[in-house]
């Protein structure tokens, strides 16, 4: 049988089909999605849940003139297949291939790039207002998940949308939290009725009639309508925010979806509309449906069995080392609390929760709240560990500054996914936390060079009770060394001399230490013996050791998996203030480049970033041969 999907390159091809053919398109799209992700890995469950919704949206609306924005956008693979990227879809998340998220530079069908949650309503409201100002009649649609609705930003946008009364369509993709009762025949009938032209017209007619009566009667009539609709549809919250609520509807009944979307598109309603669709994450693929996480994120897998290909390593993951070390401390200290923002398994706190369910708090996608919640706990003598990915912690920077650092509250930040993360690309890279944390007064900032150092940093953070602290560690596995016990504590601000050489010194901060050692081996064969220091702390710096190295070596190079303005900048500031550059020290700082690096394997990304051992060797040789020094009177 010829696949209908083979005839669809763009949504305009989809719109040539009869509505009776859409169910087949959805089935073929689902099969294609499963086959693709089995080869590429990536986000599967969310995409499976929106197959029918994706088909219906592109069938009804005139994309890309009508703007369609996916919140987080990890569910956008079906969207990409239908919007001109079908032939490239197997390059997903690979170097030089398609992004795993929507990306403005990739397609005109991606009007807004997203990979962090809860931005869709704000961005589409901006688009809707712009269209209104330009007298553009095209529609704007946001698709947001129920998990994303836990973030305050979504409600800020909805509150603003209700006040502005711009035409905006928001689809609440409810696939997990059971916000509404199960969909039934009566709900289906009511949602169809409430979205129809007749009901829209009737509402406006009633308003016109009662406007001639007293204000008191108008007020009562309006309340009666709101109460009735709230009882009938369960949409009271959204109605109170100024949205016209439709639902709940079955997000997998494609014929019903098309009818609802056509009704909404054709209506003359001025103001925001919310369509509440119930979907099933992992829909249509039994291994995903049966899995606890619905195959949210997967590696390559066997389509027939669902068995995922897992890389084997004798070394533990950094995430598990963090979780297991924290559990050991929590067994002895009842004041230790675990906090995460909708990432219990990603941060390892699901393991902590099994042991201490009453001391583990998943606050949802609400990093700002997580940080200030942790700050509140510390004021009562508790020891909260906020385990948040580096890229997501960016969202709570004001809270870190105002609610934690300014008050010198001892919140402990466990910063997972520090550095480059591979296939998820620039949106998920942990590039900036060194810079944005080390600039703050009252902060201790650490970075683990291996899993043993991570244990020591967790141990150390337990002892810091008068100020905030943070320790960062990369995604993936450690190097396979013996772990210390939980009593092995670092001296605050004390670096570690790894090896001693002459003339050249590498000052490493974080997980590039093994690359420094490889560079040393290469240089040793050339007769160059170098000093290596593991800084451990970006704040406070080990000023004594750094000064000793700077005054006894010709070349000093700092290395970090972070952006410009971080560890290397703090070292340079110290050396400048102490006048070391006046004596002709050749100082260089190796950081992530001042650009957003596209997805690839982490190894290839670090090569591109110039932080591989070969790049370190090259930097050392260039610096040795250079006449450029930071000397006051240097004329070269």
Which residues are annotated as catalytic?
Answer: 281, 367, 395
In the numeric block, the tokens 């596209």 are attached to 598
Q: How many helices (H) and strands (E) does the chain have?
A: 26, 19
Q: Pick the closest to residue 396 from 344, 465, 468 (CA basis).
A: 468
C-alpha–C-alpha distance, residues 194 and 201, integer Å: 11
369: three-class secondary structure by DSSP:
helix
Cα–chain-centroid distance for residue 295? 17
CB 414 within 8 Å of CB 324: no
C-alpha–C-alpha distance, residues 429 and 344, integer Å: 19
Alpha carbon of 362 to those of 93, 150, 320, 505, 553: distances in Å? 28, 11, 18, 43, 49
Task: Sheet containing 586-590: give its strands across.
Answer: 496-499, 531-534, 504-509, 555-560, 586-590
CB 235 within 8 Å of CB 245: yes
Please report the DSSP string for 156-192 in residue order.
HHHHHHHHHT--EEEEEEESSS--SPPP-HHHHHHHH
243: three-class secondary structure by DSSP:
coil
Alpha carbon of 34 to those of 95, 409, 612: distances in Å? 21, 47, 35
Tokens of 210: 């009662």
- List of residues 6+ apart from 510 with CB closer than 8 A: 418, 419, 447, 448, 449, 472, 474, 560, 561, 562
> 540: cis peptide before it, omega within 30°?
yes
Contacts 24+ apart (CB under 8 A), 10-13: 10/82, 10/83, 10/84, 11/58, 11/59, 11/63, 11/82, 11/83, 11/109
CA angle 455, 457, 458 (to 5 degrees): 65
CA dihedral 59, 65, 66, 70 (to 10 degrees): 90
Tokens of 279: 């979907």
| Residues β-bridged to residue 43 | 297
């Amino acid at each position: 049988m010829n696949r209908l999907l083979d005839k669809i390159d763009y949504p305009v091809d989809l719109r040539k089909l009869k509505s009776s053919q859409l169910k087949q398109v959805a089935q073929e799209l689902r099969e294609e999605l499963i086959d693709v992700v089995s080869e590429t890995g990536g986000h599967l469950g969310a995409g499976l849940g929106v197959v029918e919704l994706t088909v219906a949206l592109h069938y009804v609306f005139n994309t890309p003139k009508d703007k369609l924005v996916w919140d987080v956008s990890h569910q956008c693979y079906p969207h990409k297949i239908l919007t001109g990227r079908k032939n490239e879809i197997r390059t997903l998340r690979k170097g030089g291939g398609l992004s795993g998220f929507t990306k403005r530079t990739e397609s005109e069908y991606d009007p807004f790039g997203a990979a962090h949650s809860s931005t869709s309503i704000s961005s589409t409201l901006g688009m809707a207002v712009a269209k209104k100002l330009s007298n553009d009649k095209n529609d704007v649609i946001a698709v947001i998940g129920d998990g994303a609705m836990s973030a305050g930003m979504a409600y800020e946008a909805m509150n603003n949308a209700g006040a502005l009364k711009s035409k905006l369509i928001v689809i609440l993709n409810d696939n997990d939290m059971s916000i509404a009762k199960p969909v039934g025949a009566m709900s289906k009938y009511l949602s169809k009725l409430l979205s129809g032209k007749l009901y829209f017209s009737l509402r406006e007619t009633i308003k016109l009639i009662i406007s001639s009566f007293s204000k008191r009667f108008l007020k009562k009539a309006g309340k009666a309508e709101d109460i009735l609709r709230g009882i009938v549809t369960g949409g009271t919250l959204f109605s109170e925010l100024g949205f016209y609520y439709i639902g709940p509807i079955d997000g997998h009944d494609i014929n019903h979806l098309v009818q609802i979307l056509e009704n909404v598109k054709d209506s003359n309603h001025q103001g925001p509309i919310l369509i509440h669709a119930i979907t099933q994450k992992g829909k249509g693929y039994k291994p995903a449906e049966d899995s606890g996480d619905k195959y949210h994120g997967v590696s390559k897998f066997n389509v027939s069995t669902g068995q995922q290909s897992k890389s084997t390593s004798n070394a533990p993951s950094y995430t598990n080392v963090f979780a297991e070390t924290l559990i050991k401390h929590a067994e002895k200290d009842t004041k230790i609390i675990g906090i995460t923002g909708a990432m219990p398994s990603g941060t390892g706190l699901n393991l902590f929760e099994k042991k201490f369910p009453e001391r583990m708090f998943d606050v949802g996608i609400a990093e700002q709240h997580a940080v200030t919640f942790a700050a509140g706990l510390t004021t009562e003598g508790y020891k909260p560990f906020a385990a948040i990915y580096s890229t997501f912690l960016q969202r709570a920077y004001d809270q870190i500054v105002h609610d934690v650092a300014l008050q010198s509250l001892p919140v402990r930040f466990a910063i997972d996914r520090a550095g480059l993360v591979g296939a998820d690309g620039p949106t998920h890279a942990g590039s900036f936390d060194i810079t944005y944390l080390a600039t703050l007064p009252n902060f201790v900032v650490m970075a683990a060079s291996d899993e043993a150092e991570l244990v020591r940093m967790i141990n150390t953070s337990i002892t810091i009770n008068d100020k905030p602290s943070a320790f960062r560690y990369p995604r993936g596995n450690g190097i396979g060394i013996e772990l210390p016990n939980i009593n092995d504590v670092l001296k605050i601000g004390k670096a570690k001399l790894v090896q001693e050489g002459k003339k050249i010194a590498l000052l490493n901060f974080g997980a590039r230490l093994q690359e420094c050692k490889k560079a040393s081996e290469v240089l040793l064969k050339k007769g160059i013996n170098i000093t290596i220091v593991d800084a451990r702390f970006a704040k406070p710096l080990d000023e004594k050791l750094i000064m000793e190295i700077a005054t006894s070596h010709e070349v000093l190079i700092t290395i970090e998996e972070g952006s410009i303005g971080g560890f290397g900048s703090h070292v340079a500031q110290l050396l400048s203030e102490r006048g070391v550059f006046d004596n002709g020290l050749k100082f260089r700082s190796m950081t992530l480049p001042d650009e957003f690096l596209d997805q690839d394997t982490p190894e290839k990304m670090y090569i591109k970033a110039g932080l591989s051992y070969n790049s370190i060797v090259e930097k050392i040789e260039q610096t040795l041969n250079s006449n450029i020094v930071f000397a006051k009177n240097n004329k070269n």
